Amino acid sequence: MSNDPAVETLHTVDDRSKVVAVLSTAAAFGAGMFTIGDIEFVSIAAAAVGVGVRFGSVWWGARAFVEREAATVAEQPTAGSFHHGALGVALATAGSLALVARYLGGAVSTVAVAAAAVAVVAFLVLSALLPEE
């Protein structure tokens, strides 16, 4: 374990993002079950929301609490070299929109395809628009 304050802060952000992600997943699942009731669909959409919140909160936390000169999230050995913020926002948005669309009466297959398309397009656009880690 490193004594570098930036690395310690990244670990703290990472640990706290897990809690935020679990709470977001539970909230999305609960809201979906209360309004839609289709456990398979709601489970997948809530998981997308939770995973998106996890990636997005790590990206946001690293930008907010780690100094600019420090190593970025993407530079961490186990993080991967993609845009964490773009992926997080894209997945959370797609999962949320899927729940709303299904609540409004959309067919499962139509909503699933549309949500996947929203996730891909949002990731590509946000990767170009959002600042790097």
User: What is residue 1's predicted lDDT score, i.e. its pLDDT?
Assistant: 47
Contact 50, 21 (CB under 8 A): yes
- CA angle centred on 91, ends 86 and 95, rounded to 5°: 155
pLDDT in tens, the chain (133 residues): 455 777 788 788 889 999 999 999 999 999 999 999 999 999 999 999 999 999 999 888 878 877 666 555 556 555 556 788 899 999 999 999 999 999 999 999 999 999 999 999 999 999 889 877 5
Of the candidates 49, 51, 116, 59, the residue with the CA atom closest to the CA atom of residue 82: 59
Give the pTM: 0.84
CA dihedral for 89, 26, 73, 65, sign (positive or negative)? positive
The C-alpha atoms of residue 82 and residue 59 are separated, in whole angstroms, by 11
